[in-house]
Amino acid sequence: MKKGIVMEHRGTYTIVMKKDGTFHKAKPVKHIDIGQEVTFELQQSNKRSFVYFLERARKISRRVFVFVCFFILSTIPAYFLLAKNKAFAYVSIDINPSFELKVDNGLLVKSIRFVNNDARRIGIRLKQYKNKKMETVISQIMAQSERSNLVGEQRNMLIGVSFPNQQDKHNRLFSSLNTFLQHAEWNVTTFQIPEQIRKSAAKAGVPTFERIVKEMKHPSAKNSSVSLNLNDEEKAIIHSFYLEKNRLSEG
């Protein structure tokens, strides 16, 4: 005979819990109140015991719990990784070599598109740039361009910034750029470039500012709804830059 606590009375049996926490189907003991200790006999059944099903349910619950935990732990890092690698801005740099930096929300460089052969030559010499500060990478590009004699006497550089998400607050990016460029002995002009123009240049495999020059001369129907928002002085700077750049390329 076994002892346990009466947990529930059913029609043809009583559910009893032993001291070890296991539940059993016992022969009816309806004269004993729920919560009282009783000496009982197991209810014989052709079906698998209630204990088996309870243990089975516990195992399944544990498996589901483990699976849910694994799913959460494996999904959340991936979500944050994708969010971290998402482009906050694209920074187009034109010296003679031309580059496009993909920058995340922390203003760290995630990747670089080396637009022309001169840029690819510089890329070979660049130290590890991934996850480095935007200003640090731009500084490396400037230094390597000088060492490679790819900079004109005036040390001119154009920087264009495009934001894939128009709602992004981008003032801090320009603030970081301006603070950095104050200490550079270069003639640098920064612009905000429409994302559609940048995409068009990337698709064509040309520098963003080269596409802008083309748009200024011959606006395309595809980009007709996009305003460059350039004043006469800014247009003159870009034209002058490309005249100098073409002269260096020919030389």
184-230 pLDDT, tens per residue? 889 999 999 999 999 999 999 999 999 999 888 877 655 544 567 78
Strands 2-9 and 156-162: unpaired
DSSP state of 28: -
pTM above threshold 0.95: no
Q: Which phi and psi (to 5°) does residue 32 adopt?
A: -100, 130
d(CA 24, CA 42): 7
Residue with tokens 């002269």: 247
Distances (CA, A) of 74 to 60, 61, 71, 84, 129: 21, 20, 5, 16, 28
The values of phi and psi at residue 84, to 5°, are -70, -35
pLDDT band at residue 143 under the 50/70/90 scheme: very high
Surface-to-core class of residue 238, CB atoms within 10 Å of its CB (0-12 exposed, 13-18 middle, 19+ buried): buried
Tens digit of pLDDT for each residue in 154-181?
899 999 999 988 655 567 899 999 999 9
- Contacts of residue 224, defined as CB under 8 A and 6 or more positions apart, other chains included, come to none
Q: Report the number of secondary-structure helices (H) and strands (E) in the chain.
A: 7, 9
Q: At what angle do helices 195-204 and 208-217 cross, to 10 degrees?
A: 110
